[in-house]
Amino acid sequence: MANQVALTQRASWREYLELTKPRVVALLLLTALVGMALATPTWVAAEILIPAMVGIGLMASSAAAVNHLVDRHIDAKMARTLRRPLPTGALSPRKVLTFAMVIGILGYIVLELFVNRITAVLTLASLVGYAVIYTMYLKRATPQNIVIGGLAGAAPPLLGWTAVTGEIHAFPLLLVMIVFTWTPPHFWALAVHRAKDYAKAEIPMLPVTHGIAFTKTCILLYTILLTAVCVLPYLVGMSGWLYLAGVSVLNLIFLGYAWKLKYRPEKLTAWKMFKFSIWHLMLLFILLLADHYML
Ligand code: HEM
Ligand SMILES: CC(C)=CCC/C(C)=C/CC/C(C)=C/COP(=O)(O)OP(=O)(O)O
């Protein structure tokens, strides 16, 4: 009996954790950390680093939980998402709403009290951008949904920077541009792989509205654009040769995938490109960090 109770409790913890899209939030937090680090020549003071990571992490998790809540009916129609806590009935909509509100408000208070107003307000704007503008409106309205909605997910490097300096600067905006141009190849590669799922759920993702061939062309064009945007931190003197050399290798591999997907696709090329997109962005931000502290 006691074991049974412990098992139920553990299962429910896992479900709340799943609501927060933990791996996505972890990568968002890495980009915020790099935004903080690049804002100062020394290491970031723990008094800012800890509350900024906690506050941004809580608010991004809250946005992810709202996305689970609002999308529960379409998630139930797609093979990839039908085992989520709301479609399975493991959590009720009321519990998810309460959870999202509690962690969202907590995150805002942490940023407002221990970081600064500008970071709190910009993080709130990102939460609204993803949970309301993207999830409730754009996702169902236009195939450009993820391009525009991508701005919310691209904001964390700027949030990190403002947490340390209290002001907006062109340097973190370059990092925002990198994540912004990375998002279409990241998502459309997955959408090509899962096009049937999105069609079944009647979500107007690009492969559904404009076909697979056109989506692959867009992926290739955005990947070329991303390659150019990634050079900007080096050109403005924000990063050095270590970043430039590393990011060039990453971009060559990413371009290779985009080219293969368009002209020589195999069954799993789109899925492999999606998987690589995550390594691409993670290693790119680690390179920025290494370049900043090692050189
Ligand atoms: C509008 C923008 C975005 C859209 C539509 C999008 C879409 C998706 C989707 C549908 C998945 C799930 C794939 C699966 O079920 O395996 C995914 C996975 C992922 N995304 Fe994104 N994404 C976006 C932006 C971002 C951003 C900004 C980041 C981080 C900086 C990110 C990081 C990740 C990571 C780490 C995963 C893997 C999660 C896992 O393995 O559980 N995404 N993305
Ligand atoms: C405060 C702040 C920084 C907010 C960041 C917002 C955030 C969590 C962005 C992640 C983007 C993402 C995973 C989109 C997928 O949604 P989807 O509904 O298209 O994918 P799904 O079908 O897997 O749910």
Asked if 61 contacts 103 with a C-beta cutoff of 8 angstroms, the reply is: yes
Q: How far apart are CA 126 and CA 262, in angstroms?
A: 33
Q: How far apart are CA 172 and CA 32, in angstroms?
A: 10
Q: What is the pLDDT of residues 71-109, one digit of tens each?
A: 999 999 999 999 999 999 999 999 999 999 999 999 999
Asked if 65 contacts 19 with a C-beta cutoff of 8 angstroms, the reply is: yes
What values do phi and psi take at 238, rounded to 5? Answer: -80, -30
CA 138 to centroid of ligand 1, rounded, Å: 17
Asked if 55 contacts 114 with a C-beta cutoff of 8 angstroms, the reply is: yes
* Model-wide pTM > 0.90: yes
CA 183 to centroid of ligand 1, rounded, Å: 9
User: Which sign, positive or negative, has the C-alpha torsion 33, 129, 151, 99?
Assistant: positive
- What is the per-residue pLDDT for 11? 58
Residue 145 CA: which ligand 1 atom is closest? 1
Domain boundaries, the chain: 14-166, 169-295
In this prediction, the residues of the chain whose per-residue pLDDT falls under 70 are 1-11
Q: Is 4 exposed, middle or buried (0-12, 13-18, 19+ CB in 10 A)?
A: exposed
- What is the per-residue pLDDT for 173? 98
CA 213 to centroid of ligand 2, rounded, Å: 25
- What is the per-residue pLDDT for 176? 98
Mutate to test the pocket of ligand 1, among 14, 17, 21, 24 (most ligand atoms within 8 A of CB): 24
Radius of gyration over every alpha carbon of the chain, rounded to an integer in angstroms: 20
Residue 179 CA: which ligand 1 atom is closest? 27
Residue 18: C-alpha distances to residues 46, 61, 87, 143 (Å): 28, 10, 13, 27
CATH number for region 14-166: 1.10.357.140
Asked if 200 contacts 156 with a C-beta cutoff of 8 angstroms, the reply is: no
* Ligand (nearest to CA of 190): 1
- What is the per-residue pLDDT for 10? 52
Asked if 131 contacts 70 with a C-beta cutoff of 8 angstroms, the reply is: yes
What is the ipTM score, two decimals?
0.96
